[in-house]
Structure 1
């Protein structure tokens, strides 16, 4: 998997792709480029042609679109003439571009859409599962999603059949992640609920992030620093960071004093905070910027692709 994955890189305002050894597989040549997903990557050329390339840099789909998204479950969100739809890998519309927005492609392949300012749910063939009657409908995870029936109503939880699982009583609920969803009763204090709508972590936090690899970022209004909670609501990593990301592959990007680095699940820096930005790890590497130049590192802090201006190690 790591051998075949390609990583997006930006050099002198041109985008290309490298492998996990830092060698160029597709030299920088694009005006914009997204990460590869399911074997394809959306790109824009300097003469403003848009489409999807494969790992051999062959344009397998060329589309006159305003936006091309990543593929997930065989579908990608696209925008044509201000309207959103979904295509398959042949470029055929599975969800016609008639929607004001498409919130997400869910892990099951279902799609949350907005039509006439109301949200509904389609299956992976574009057929309607839930009519667009909801004021808000969140992403589905394990068959459950937060929803609000009408403006001003409270939020509850439904399944993909539209059955009410948790009565609307929340000011807001986020999509589920690792079996828990961030939720607030008053819009100011957040905790985490289970699939039955019970708080398993009390709502006392000013801001939180979804759980990832057993940890969720949090911060209190007083002090304002970020840390991490575990599933029991215990502080697993002390709140001492300016900003934090989610854990992936055992590490998370954090920022302090406007400098970014990476920590492990014990809260210890494994890559020192010296970067302008640090993205979450993906397929064994983390993308960082130093003096606005892109680079990639592994979890041992070794450079796979080093910015020209970097001279600290």
Structure 2
């Protein structure tokens, strides 16, 4: 099975190797793609521009959403290209066609509930029943759920609606930037958020692996997910087996996980301290003894104790360097360098050993983003540009925004 981690690492520098440097917004508020030679690959023309995977980009403009390659030529959404069959609609009903347009199943379905993924889809049949079908239209099992999502790595998320107003989903976004944790996140080091959705998970046979009747089921990760029930929080793997037994833990103040190496920080509600668990086997690898835990990627994490931050080698547990707790950090992700800054907005680039490589003049920098392929987007009073780890401008600051792709 191709994991989230392997996908992240496979795609991480694929665009860079293909000559794509970054998505850039110019003075007209339009996005384009800049090449590694500093020239436009795709001239700014889009309201939004994001990477969809496999060398394909998703754009939005006057004509709606479209998929294009790095030079703006029409392209096929990667997931659609990978599917061997797809649904088509005729006279208000849905049928199934193969890649060549041959009809596999005549239009009989009243609705498509979830598109084909991993060989299965969910539909409402001609009798109005919700069922799972294979690529030949054969019914696999009943799926009587309010909402059902496509399969992903062998599991499908189902949801049930609740009759009362749920404030949890509304507040989730506001809780991410808590005072306990001050790291910005990307694919590899991310917040794990409960959004208030009453969800559960099905295996490929339609068996309920994790029940939506629990008080709270968090979104699934590569390793499994957290389940809160009757006031206790635990972690279950993708088979629904508990790896971290339910306990008096808090995830809501930090929700930090390292989704590449499989670690998560939890707070012990009894002593108010943070520790670290493995999501691979459930073992506690760092005791509940710290005021904060921050995963930085690149085998580095910060342990906060009092007014100090200790930079730790995540692989060996060895102490690397010490910084004041008030210093904030961007994640290394898969890079050798990152930014840190203090409450006076004094910015510095540090390496994985905690050594300062570049220190910006006070007031020079307004904002920064994580390094990728050795470069970092940096904002000054004249706009966004790209800088290397020694503080040299590779692309002069002049743009409204830059996103590494």
Closer, same or farther: CA 213–28 of 1 in aligned 2, 3 Å: same
| 1:43 aligned residue (41, 56, 59) | 59
Q: Does 1:11 align with 2:80?
A: no
Q: 2:46 aligns with which of 30, 35, 53?
A: 30
Partner Cα separation in structure 1 for residue 116 and residue 387 of structure 2: 30
Question: What is aligned with 2:240?
Answer: 197
CA contact (8 A) 1:271 1:301 kept: no
1:271-310 CA-partner distances (Å, limit 9, x unpaired): 324574646x77x46775636955556788876645349x
Larger radius of gyration: 2
Structure 1: which 5+ runs fail to align?
Answer: 62-69, 77-86
8 Å contact 2:25–2:32 — kept in the other structure? Answer: yes
**d(CA) in 2 for partners of 1:233 and 1:50?**
45
Of 330, 350, 354, 1:261 maps to: 330
Match of 2:153 among 136, 142, 146: 142
Greater share of helix = 2
Q: 1:49 to 1:196 in 2, by over 3 A?
A: closer
CA distance in 1, matches of 2:121, 2:375: 29
Task: Tell me the CA shift for residue 218 of structure 1.
Answer: 3.9
Aligned to 1:270: 338
Secondary structure in 2 aligned to 1:307? strand
Would you say the 8 A contact 2:384–2:398 is kept in 1? Answer: no
- How far has the Cα of 1:259 moved from its partner? 6.4
Q: TM-score, normalised by structure 1?
A: 0.59
Are 1:214 and 2:241 an aligned pair?
no
How many Å apart are 1:226 and its aligned residue? 8.8
Compared CA separation, residues 304 and 200, structure 1 to 2 (3 A): farther
Contact 2:276/2:284 (<8 A) preserved: no
Q: Which residue of 2 is the match for residue 66 of structure 1?
A: none
Alpha-carbon distance in structure 1 between the residues aligned to 2:389 and 2:276: 20
Q: Residues 130, 162 of structure 1: CA spacing in aligned structure 2 closer, same or farther, 3 A cutoff?
A: same
Cα gap change, 1:29/1:37 in structure 2, threshold over 3 Å: closer, same or farther? same
1:290 paired residue among 372, 379, 387: 379
The structure showing larger relative contact order (alpha-carbon pairs under 8 Å, at least 6 residues apart) is: 2
**RMSD over aligned Cα atoms:** 5.8
CA-CA distance at 1:124 after TM superposition: 6.9
2:86 aligned with 1:74, yes or no?
A: no
Native 8 Å contact 2:329 2:339 kept in 1: no
Q: How far is the alpha carbon of 1:193 from its aligned partner?
A: 0.9
Pair 1:234-2:285 in alignment: yes
1:234 deviation in Å? 3.0
Q: TM-score, normalising length from structure 2?
A: 0.48
Conserved? CA contact 1:159–1:165, under 8 Å = yes
